[in-house]
């Protein structure tokens, strides 16, 4: 059954709540007892959020402004999360399946090392979409991220599969050290494909090419510095 979660107030500091659709399988009372981090205090979800049941899907409806709530949908494997407002950092981190729809904006580190599933952002996304986390070798490996608005810098760093679609503009340094997968940008962006080994970056608008790509029939191929076979092309 779907669970609807609504913030009771403006949070004085950010909340960390690894909310996944698994919660929809629990009773309202159980959901209220779910532990979340409010600054350095561990509190029950019910202290900060109103909880109600609605419908019968494995689905979370996050109703309101969740821009101060981090790690939503982290490690989720299936089911659905709909965020009616904006969402905080690390949303959909390490997710393996299911779907997250964000009606507002997403903060940094959306879909860190995502390995499956789908994330749709109706608004804008921050920096580091689909990247590898600090010290890790590989970013997003599968799944799809669609951003209807703009995205920030460093999208798809070390990406090794999956797809990122940005309907608006993207920032700078897109697909750095990318190995596989596809990044599609309908607007414009800055540098693309530094030390790219493989994969494809498609751009509709303008972008800046690094001096280490060769022009071929397929598009721009490189990065020659890593003997890469990544492709950058316009569409």
Partner 1 sequence: MEDVICTFCGSVCDDGEFDTEKKKVKKFCRLGSSKFAEKQRIKAPMIDGKEVSYETAIEKAAEILANAKKPLLYGWASTANEAIRVGVLLAEKLGGVYDQCASVCHAPGTLAVIEEGLPGATLGSIKNRADVVIFWGANPAEAHPRHGLRYSISAKGLLVKDRKQRKVVVVDVRPTKTAKMADMFVQIKPGYDYAIISALRAIISGNAEVVPSEVGGVAKEKLIELAEIMKKAKYGAILYGLGVTQSRGRDRNVENAIKLIQLLNRTTRWVIWPMRGHYNVVGAGEVPAWEVGYQYAIDFSRGYPRFSPAEFSAVEVLKRKDCDAALIVASDPVAHFPKIAVKHLKQIPVIQIDPYPNMTTLLAKVVIPSAVYGIEAEGTAYRMDCIPLRVKKIIETSYWTDEKILEEILKRVEKLKG
Partner 2 sequence: MLWIRNGIVVDPKNKINAEKMDIFIKNGKIVEENEVKKEECKVIDASGKLVVAGGVDMHAHIAGSKINTGRTMRPEEMRVVRNIAGKFRATVGRVLLTAPAIGYEYAKMGYTTSFEAAQPPIGALHTHEELDAIPMIDKAALPVFGNWHLVFKCIEEKNMEKLKALVAWAIERSKGFGVKVVNPGGVEAWMYGGNVKSLDDQVPGFNVTPREIITWLIKANEELGLPHSVHLHCNNLGVPGNYQTTIESIKLAKGFSNAKRQVLHVTHVQFNAYAGSSWRDAGSGAAEIAKVVNSMDNVTIDMGQPIFGHATAMTGDAPFQFSLHKLIGARWSNKDTEVETGAGIVPIGYLPNNPVHALQWAIGLELGLLVDSNKVALTTDYPNGGPFTEYPYVMAMLMSKKMREGELSKVNAYVQKATGLASIDVEKTLYEVIHMTRSLPAKILGLENKGHLGIGADADIAIYNLNPLETDTSKEFEKVYKMFKSAEYTIKGGEIIVKGGELVKEVYGRTFWVDATKKADIQAVMPDIREYFNYYSVQLGNYGVEERWIKKPARIEVV
Under the rule (CB under 8 A), what is the footprint of partner 1?
12-14, 16, 37-41, 68, 70, 89-90, 107-109, 127-128, 134-135, 154, 172-173, 176, 190-191, 194-195, 208, 210-214, 222-225
CB closer to partner 2, 135 vs 211: 135
Q: Can you tell me the distance from the alpha carbon of 140 to that of 152, in angstroms, rounded to the nearest whole number?
A: 16
Q: Residues 6 or more apart from 215 whose CB is under 8 A from it? A: none
Residue 118 interface partner, choices partner 1, partner 2, none, CB cut-off 5-8 Å depending on type: none
Sign for the CA dihedral angle at 203, 153, 159, 86 comes to negative
Distance (Å) of CA 190 to CA 131, 171, 201, 206: 17, 6, 12, 8
**Interaction residues for partner 2, span 106-135 (CB under 8 A):** 133-135
Find the shortest distance in angstroms from Cβ 137 to partner 2.
Answer: 9
Residue 214 interface partner, choices partner 1, partner 2, none, CB cut-off 5-8 Å depending on type: partner 1
Find the shortest distance in angstroms from Cβ 134 to partner 1.
Answer: 6
Find the shortest distance in angstroms from Cβ 93 to partner 2.
Answer: 13
CB closer to partner 1, 65 vs 118: 65
Find the shortest distance in angstroms from Cβ 137 to partner 1.
Answer: 10
136 binds partner 2 (CB under 8 A): yes
Residue 160 interface partner, choices partner 1, partner 2, none, CB cut-off 5-8 Å depending on type: none
Q: Can you tell me the distance from the alpha carbon of 195 to that of 226, in angstroms, rounded to the nearest whole number?
A: 6
Find the shortest distance in angstroms from Cβ 139 to partner 2.
Answer: 13
CB closer to partner 1, 90 vs 150: 90
Find the shortest distance in angstroms from Cβ 29 to partner 2.
Answer: 27
Interface residues toward partner 2, by CB under 8 A = 133-136
């Amino acid at each position: 059954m779907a669970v609807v979660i609504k913030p009771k107030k403006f949070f004085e500091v950010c909340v960390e709540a690894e909310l996944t659709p698994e919660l929809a399988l629990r009773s309202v009372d159980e959901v209220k007892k779910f532990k979340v981090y409010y600054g350095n205090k561990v509190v029950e979800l019910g202290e900060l959020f109103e909880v109600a049941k609605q419908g019968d899907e494995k689905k979370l409806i996050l109703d309101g402004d969740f821009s101060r709530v981090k790690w939503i949908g982290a490690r989720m494997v299936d089911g659905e999360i709909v965020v009616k407002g904006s969402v905080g950092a690390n949303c959909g981190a390490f997710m393996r399946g299911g779907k997250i729809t964000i009606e507002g904006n997403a903060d940094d580190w959306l879909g860190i090392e995502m390995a499956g599933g789908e994330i749709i952002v109706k608004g804008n996304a921050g920096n580091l979409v689909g990247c590898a986390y600090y010290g890790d070798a590989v970013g997003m490996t599968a799944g799809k991220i669609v951003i209807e608005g703009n995205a920030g810098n460093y999208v798809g760093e070390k990406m090794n599969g999956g797809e990122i679609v940005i309907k608006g503009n993207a920032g700078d340094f897109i697909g750095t050290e990318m190995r596989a997968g596809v990044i599609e940008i309908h607007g414009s962006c800055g540098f693309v494909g530094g030390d790219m080994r493989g994969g494809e970056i498609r751009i509709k608008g303008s972008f800046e090419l690094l001096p280490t790509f060769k022009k071929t029939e397929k598009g721009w191929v490189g990065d020659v510095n890593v003997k890469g076979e990544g492709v950058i092309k316009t569409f």
